[in-house]
Amino acid sequence: MDLFGSFALLLAFICAIYAIAGGILAIRTRNPFLIKSARNAGIAVCALIFLAVASLVYLFLSDNFSIAYVVQHSSRLQPSFLKIAALWSGQEGSLLFWSLLLSIYVFSVLWSYRDKHPELMPYVGVILASVQLFFLILNNFIANPFKLIGTVGPGGVLSWITQPDGRGLTPLLQYPEMIIHPPMLYSGYTGFTIPFAFALAALIGRYPGEKWIHLTRRWTMIAWCFQSVGILLGAHWAYAVLGWGGYWSWDPVENASLMPWLTGTAFLHSVMMQEKRGMMKVWNVWLVFITFLLCIFGTFLTRSGVISSVHAFAQSDIGPWFVGFLIVILSVCTLAFLKNRDYLKSDNSLDSMISRESSFLFNNLILLVACVAVLSGTVFPVLSEWATGQKISVGAPFFNRINIPIGLMLLFLTGVGPLLAWRRTSADSLKRNFGMPMAGGLIAGAIAWPLGCKDLFSLACVILSVFVTLTIVLEFYRGAKVIRARAGGNLLSSAVQLTLRNTRRYGGYVVHFGIVLVFIGISGQAFNQDKQMEMSPGSSMQIGRYTLFCQLFENVPGPNYTSERVSIDVERDGKQVMMLYPEKRIYGDSDEAGTMVAISSTPREDLYVVYAGRSPQSDKPVIHAYLNPLVKWVWFGGVVVVLGTILALIPNRAAAIIMQAAKQPAPATAEQAIPAGVHYDGSD
């Protein structure tokens, strides 16, 4: 089965070369047979990678311990779903897994557009196959997951051996989040390859217009959604598993996933400028190039060990390959741009500072600044070593000082942007649209301040969050009112109608609302508390409105571990609420420890309790308790973002034509009866 898998990989490598060479020839000669053949080769690459992954999964499930990768990440007693997840727990397998997810995207593109857009698709196919080729080179020749274990016997004879059992997945990975976080995050990273390929293809092929944006919009939104989920799942894993009480530490690998998200978000917004006003063509092309480069850079940072981080894969020699690939991508993009940039001239330019274009420009500006800041902070050790010979790193204060104001500015723009008109907004329109939401925000701030929200940034967050929420509600309300006036029904059903007629716009508003919730959750951090003390059965600890009573301290055996566990009775405001069991597990043979955090989570705050080991003098358990307000809002906001994206992906329901006897002189066109900013057919 390992032969089957490695052969499938090799065949995929060969097919990818053909897809590229044949594809280039097909573009040159415009031979329909070649075009089809190259595309089929591209599909074959995807199928073969799938087969390679299937065989690796089979090797795991069948406990084949003659394969080095299986021995390192699996064992006989490991549950089946963890054996499958072991696929992406190491260098070789996770590279193959990346190829698999990329292949799913590539296949969906090649298949959906198989007989369409013949001027564009051959270029797209070549580019996609080239990206796949890179990862196939890695998996075939540098980091092959199908390597056998061998020893050199007497006389220098190499023989294959089979281990009796594997080492098993490291305990720190045996959590649900670790099972789902890589697939989600990789689905984000790989998904951005699609808009990249189309942008580059359109540039190289001098494909006119904004069609490449329309064609790839769904994939970009899906990739962006997966990236968002992947980042939040990573944060949740850090929070629920690592036990330091927080969910984001500006660790290089965390930053690596955030950077393409920042530019991807900028891209999702600035393409609207290109679609509506033909502006920002050069900017958009480079934005998507940079997003893709950051995805590759992100996985390079994680795998190469070039920056020391919490998530370290082995220090490996895979780094230079990624650097080479990044250079190749950058060169191709630059050459293509230099050659064909004259066809990317803008149709229009900025008319007014108080316009939707302007808000998008500012949106892009600050997202890019945030990305540059995160990038510089992350690679600071490398840069400083080049520049001064001294390796210097910067920590959370650097990132927070820049990104918190940026976050607040973004929040402001989220409320302002949708209310500004294209080209120019009048002062009257401004007053009409902003008055109520801004007033609501300030009132909320006035309420929050005496209630204890005395941190300036958190206060600003409250004011702006309420402001944005009210602008979103107003948008739905105004549109629903119009539909109700014409078609009857109540406000709610009208709002549903409204949404379904322009899912991209109103789904986008739901996503904005989800982001507002995430921001509110993040702002809770300003009020975190924590307390640490020794406890023994009978003693108690007070934190916030919670009282923790230590009931038991015992050793509890598990299937492959023993754990030291503290049973804690939790009271909130004097009433018994729940039992928490923070523990520390010691896994049998490997002698590795795993701390299990106990969390009691409510919308208002999380009570987060860690068993910090025995006190060295008294041998009593040490309990570290944290009170983290509003954390649940972050996770809930993430759910709303996903729902909003799904909503935005639904195709628009066409506007219904209402045939009705005129009761009054009918307006000349439907447009006239509707206030500016809301079009009946849902377009902007």
Residue 308 binds to another protein (criterion: CB under 8 A): yes
Cβ closest to another protein, residue 351 vs residue 671: 351
Residue 57 binds to another protein (criterion: CB under 8 A): no
Cβ closest to another protein, residue 108 vs residue 393: 393
- Angstrom distance (rounded) from CA 145 to CA 98: 13
Residue 588 binds to another protein (criterion: CB under 8 A): no
- Angstrom distance (rounded) from CA 46 to CA 52: 10
- Angstrom distance (rounded) from CA 650 to CA 648: 6
Q: Is residue 262 within a helix (H) or strand (E), and if so which, with residue range?
A: helix 252-277
Q: Which region holds residue 179: left if phi is over 0, alpha if psi is between -120 and 50, else beta?
A: alpha
Residue 366 binds to another protein (criterion: CB under 8 A): yes
Residues 175 and 241 sit within 8 Å (Cβ to Cβ): yes
Residue 19 binds to another protein (criterion: CB under 8 A): no
Residue 400 binds to another protein (criterion: CB under 8 A): yes
Cβ closest to another protein, residue 396 vs residue 639: 396
Among the residue ranges 546-554, 568-576, 608-616, 654-662, the one whose residues contact another protein (CB under 8 A)? 608-616
Cβ closest to another protein, residue 91 vs residue 567: 91
Kindly state the smallest distance separating residue 605's Cβ from another protein, in Å: 19
Cβ closest to another protein, residue 312 vs residue 673: 312
- Angstrom distance (rounded) from CA 466 to CA 75: 52
Structural tokens at position 433: 């649209």
- Residue 266 burial (CB < 10 Å; 0-12/13-18/19+)? buried
Residue 351 binds to another protein (criterion: CB under 8 A): yes
Residue 613 binds to another protein (criterion: CB under 8 A): yes
Kindly state the smallest distance separating residue 35's Cβ from another protein, in Å: 43
- Mapping DSSP to helix (H, G, I), strand (E, B) and coil, where does residue 585 land? strand
Our measurement of the distance from residue 420's CA atom to the centroid of its chain's CA atoms, rounded to an integer in Å, reads 28
- Angstrom distance (rounded) from CA 8 to CA 373: 42
Residue 306 binds to another protein (criterion: CB under 8 A): no
Cβ closest to another protein, residue 51 vs residue 593: 593
- Angstrom distance (rounded) from CA 675 to CA 654: 20
Bridge partner list, 564: 555, 584
- Angstrom distance (rounded) from CA 338 to CA 344: 11
User: From the list 3, 327, 330, 353, which residue makes contact with another protein (rule: CB under 8 A)?
Assistant: 353
User: From the list 60, 399, 506, 546, which residue makes contact with another protein (rule: CB under 8 A)?
Assistant: 399
Residue 409 binds to another protein (criterion: CB under 8 A): yes
| CB contact burial 625-641 (16+ within 10 A = b; e otherwise) | bbbbbbbbbbbbbbebb
Nearest Cα to 497, choosing from 306, 349, 338, 655?
655
- Angstrom distance (rounded) from CA 237 to CA 231: 10
How long, in residues, is the chain? 684
Structural tokens at position 82: 């963890």
Kindly state the smallest distance separating residue 612's Cβ from another protein, in Å: 4
- Residue 601 burial (CB < 10 Å; 0-12/13-18/19+)? middle
Among the residue ranges 107-115, 360-368, 475-483, 656-664, the one whose residues contact another protein (CB under 8 A)? 360-368
Cβ closest to another protein, residue 22 vs residue 417: 417
Residue 341 binds to another protein (criterion: CB under 8 A): no
Please report how many Cα atoms fall inside a 13 Å half-sphere around the Cα of residue 666, on the Cβ side. 9
Among the residue ranges 197-205, 353-361, 451-459, 555-563, the one whose residues contact another protein (CB under 8 A)? 353-361
Structural tokens at position 282: 């050069």
Structural tokens at position 151: 């020893």
Residues 618-657 as x/- pattern, contact with another protein by CB under 8 A: ----x-x---------------------------------
Residue 277 binds to another protein (criterion: CB under 8 A): no
- Angstrom distance (rounded) from CA 202 to CA 282: 12
Kindly state the smallest distance separating residue 65's Cβ from another protein, in Å: 15
Nearest Cα to 652, choosing from 623, 677, 681, 627?
681
- Mapping DSSP to helix (H, G, I), strand (E, B) and coil, where does residue 346 land? coil
Among the residue ranges 119-127, 238-246, 553-561, 650-658, the one whose residues contact another protein (CB under 8 A)? 238-246
- Angstrom distance (rounded) from CA 449 to CA 238: 31
Kindly state the smallest distance separating residue 590's Cβ from another protein, in Å: 9
Kindly state the smallest distance separating residue 597's Cβ from another protein, in Å: 11
Bridge partner list, 542: 547
Binding residues among 281-300 for another protein as defined by CB under 8 A: none
Listed in order, strand segments (DSSP E) in 116-185 are 150-152, 158-160
Among the residue ranges 57-65, 392-400, 413-421, 432-440, the one whose residues contact another protein (CB under 8 A)? 392-400
User: From the list 592, 600, 652, 655, which residue makes contact with another protein (rule: CB under 8 A)?
Assistant: 592
Kindly state the smallest distance separating residue 107's Cβ from another protein, in Å: 30
Cβ closest to another protein, residue 382 vs residue 654: 382
Bridge partner list, 601: 606
- Angstrom distance (rounded) from CA 611 to CA 598: 9
Cβ closest to another protein, residue 329 vs residue 623: 623
Distances in Å between the alpha carbon of 210 and those of 201, 236, 245, 276, 504? 13, 38, 46, 10, 17
Residue 422 binds to another protein (criterion: CB under 8 A): no
Binding residues among 89-108 for another protein as defined by CB under 8 A: 89-91
Residue 340 binds to another protein (criterion: CB under 8 A): no
Residues 59-88 as x/- pattern, contact with another protein by CB under 8 A: -------------x----------------
Binding residues among 528-587 for another protein as defined by CB under 8 A: 532, 584
User: From the list 80, 151, 349, 669, which residue makes contact with another protein (rule: CB under 8 A)?
Assistant: 349
User: From the list 406, 464, 535, 674, which residue makes contact with another protein (rule: CB under 8 A)?
Assistant: 406
- The binding site for another protein (CB under 8 A) comprises 72, 89-91, 170, 172-173, 242-246, 249, 251, 308, 310-314, 349-353, 358, 361-362, 365-366, 369, 373, 376-377, 380-381, 390-402, 405-406, 409, 532, 584, 591-595, 610, 612-613, 616-617, 622, 624
